[in-house]
């Protein structure tokens, strides 16, 4: 099935410490324990499909053929479902270290409650002796490192979030066979909403080709070799929807004089009232509407903003 | 006054024609957005061993 669906079916192997020869380095006991506990894995073989459908046992003596039809049915029941998430993995592979950027983007709204991003390092095609059936075989995508589990904070159409980091390449691995796998998973329901993998040699170290490597680029996907950042918020101007020199506390509509001085006036009070009544707010307004800094935007903030304007402290 | 009446006479039928165009555009927009939505891939975690 892996050969049939190379673009849409991804597998990783977690090797049980209880069934791994002493001279093998396949097992990651604590990671296996954590991942296995998540799914209630008792014995092996146990396969978990998109986190929610499992098959246990069923292929004696390593013979997977009888499982083909049932596996195909599970695959067909999941493939192509709409998901709000798209995952892109880029980075740079050095001799001993790899830098990665995993970017999750959304093309529909979905709550981020309990949504996590897991990033794994796997090694593919490890020619290894399978003692249970006394034969050699290619172990596929054996988990070598569970890099991180992060909270996904985005929830709306058009938003994206990037997770960056580095990891060391072990001398024991065939570096050309090392891949990074990233998934979006709900840690409450266990549902996996999207997955992507990439060989470390196929990653693009400079997505926008502006000469600034992704990890150092203040706007990864848009060409900006000058890295202009007028408001100094580490988000490049071409990627930054909010100029924080204009969107200061109280300036909800983001207007300014010709010289760039923010204007805080009655319109901002009305905008704040509109927010309280209608709930309409954009990402630039959110940080500048909590006038008294108590983390709750309410009528008190309206009064304080009006007082601020009337007293000329704007 | 005559000009206003003429304009009104012309604008009413054209306004009527805009509705189906708007609806068609909305349907097209929905179709394009749906077609471009990301598709779920399938991820299998295989808990296994070597002996």
pLDDT above 70: residue B21: no
pLDDT above 50: residue A233: yes
- Return d(Cα A146, Cα A34) in angstroms, integer: 11
Beta-carbon neighbour count of residue A16 at 10 Å? Answer: 22
- Return d(Cα A13, Cα A74) in angstroms, integer: 18
B45 contacts A48? CB cut-off 8 A:
yes
**Pairwise pLDDT comparison (A43 vs A77), residue with the higher score:** A77
CA dihedral A293, A298, A299, A300 (to 10 degrees): -20
* Interval A258-269 mean pLDDT: 90
Q: Chain B residue with minimal CA distance to A138?
A: B50
Helix (H, G, I), strand (E, B) or coil at A93: strand
- Return d(Cα A210, Cα A231) in angstroms, integer: 21
- Return d(Cα A102, Cα A149) in angstroms, integer: 12
Q: Are strands B42-48 and A9-15 parallel, antiparallel or unpaired?
A: parallel
Cβ-count burial A26-56 (b if 16+ within 10 Å, e if not) = bbbeeebeebbeebebeebbbbbbbbeebbe
Helix (H, G, I), strand (E, B) or coil at A206: coil
Q: Say which of B39, B48, B50 has its CB closest to residue A24.
A: B50
- Return d(Cα A112, Cα A92) in angstroms, integer: 29
pLDDT above 60: residue B2: no
Q: Kindly report, residue by residue over A97-120, the tens digit of the pLDDT.
A: 999 999 999 999 999 999 999 999
Q: Mean of the per-residue pLDDT values for chain A?
A: 90
B51 contacts A35? CB cut-off 8 A:
no
Largest distance between two CA atoms of chain B: 96
pTM recorded for the entire structure? 0.70
Give pLDDT, residue B3. 56
Q: How many whole angstroms from its chain centre is CA B20?
A: 13
pLDDT above 60: residue B9: no
Query: How far does the CA of residue A269 sit from the closest CA of chain B (Å)?
Result: 35
| CA-to-CA separations, A148 to A163, A225, A297, in angstroms, rounded | 9, 30, 34
A11 contacts B44? CB cut-off 8 A:
yes
- Return d(Cα A198, Cα A91) in angstroms, integer: 10
Q: Kindly report, residue by residue over A158-210, the tens digit of the pLDDT.
A: 999 999 999 999 999 999 999 999 999 999 999 999 999 999 999 988 888 99
What residues of A are in contact with residue B35 (Cβ under 8 Å)?
Answer: none
List, as ranges, residues 29-48 from B with C-beta within 8 Å of A: 33, 36-48
DSSP letter for each residue of A18-75: GGS-TT-----HHHHHHHHHHHT--SSSEEEETTTEEEE---GGG--GGGHHHHHHHH
Q: Are strands A85-93 and A192-199 parallel, antiparallel or unpaired?
A: unpaired
pLDDT above 90: residue A147: yes
CB A210, CB A225: distance < 8 Å: yes
* Interval A9-19 mean pLDDT: 91
Q: Kindly report, residue by residue over A60-69, the tens digit of the pLDDT.
A: 666 677 788 8
With CA atoms as reference, report the closest residue to A9 among A74, A65, A69.
A74
Of A31, A78, A179, which to mutate for an interface test with B (greatest number of B Cβ within 10 Å)?
A78
- Return d(Cα A36, Cα A56) in angstroms, integer: 13
What residues of A are in contact with residue B47 (Cβ under 8 Å)?
Answer: 14, 16, 32, 36, 39, 41, 44-48
CB A185, CB A151: distance < 8 Å: no
* Interval A53-80 mean pLDDT: 83
A19 contacts B50? CB cut-off 8 A:
yes
Give pLDDT, residue A120. 97
């Amino acid at each position: 099935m892996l050969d049939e669906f190379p673009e849409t079916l991804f597998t990783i192997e977690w090797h049980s410490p209880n069934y791994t020869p002493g001279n093998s380095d396949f097992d990651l006991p604590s990671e296996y324990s954590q991942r296995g506990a998540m799914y209630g894995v008792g014995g092996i073989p146990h396969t978990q499909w998109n986190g929610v459908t499992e098959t246990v046992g069923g292929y004696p003596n390593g013979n997977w053929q009888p499982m083909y039809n049932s596996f195909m049915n599970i695959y067909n029941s999941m493939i192509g479902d709409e998901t709000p998430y798209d995952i892109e993995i880029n980075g740079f592979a050095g001799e001993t270290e790899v830098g990665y950027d995993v970017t999750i983007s959304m093309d529909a709204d979905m709550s981020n409650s309990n949504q996590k991003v897991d990033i794994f390092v796997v090694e593919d095609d490890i020619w290894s002796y399978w003692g249970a059936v006394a034969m050699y075989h290619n172990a596929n995508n054996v988990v070598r490192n569970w890099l991180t589990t992060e909270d996904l904070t985005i929830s709306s159409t058009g938003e994206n979030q990037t997770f960056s980091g580095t990891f060391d390449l072990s001398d024991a691995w065939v570096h050309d066979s090392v891949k990074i796998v990233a998934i979006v998973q709900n840690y409450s329901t266990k549902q996996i909403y999207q997955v992507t993998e990439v060989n470390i040699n196929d990653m693009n170290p400079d997505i926008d080709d502006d000469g600034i490597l992704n990890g150092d680029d203040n706007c990864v996907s848009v060409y900006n070799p000058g890295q202009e950042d007028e408001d100094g918020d580490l988000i490049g101007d071409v990627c930054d929807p909010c100029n924080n020199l204009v969107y200061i506390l109280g300036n909800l509509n983001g207007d300014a004089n010709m010289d760039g001085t923010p204007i805080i006036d009655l319109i901002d009070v009305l905008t704040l009232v509109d927010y309280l009544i209608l709930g309409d707010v954009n990402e630039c307004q959110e940080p500048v509407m909590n006038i008294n800094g108590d983390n709750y935007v309410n009528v008190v903030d309206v009064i304080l903003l009006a007082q601020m304007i009337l007293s000329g402290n704007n | 006054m005559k000009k206003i009446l003429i304009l009104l006479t012309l604008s009413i039928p054209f306004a009527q024609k805009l509705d189906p165009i708007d609806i068609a555009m909305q349907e097209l927009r929905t179709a394009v957005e749906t077609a471009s939505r990301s598709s779920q891939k399938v991820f299998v975690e295989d808990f296994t061993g070597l002996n």
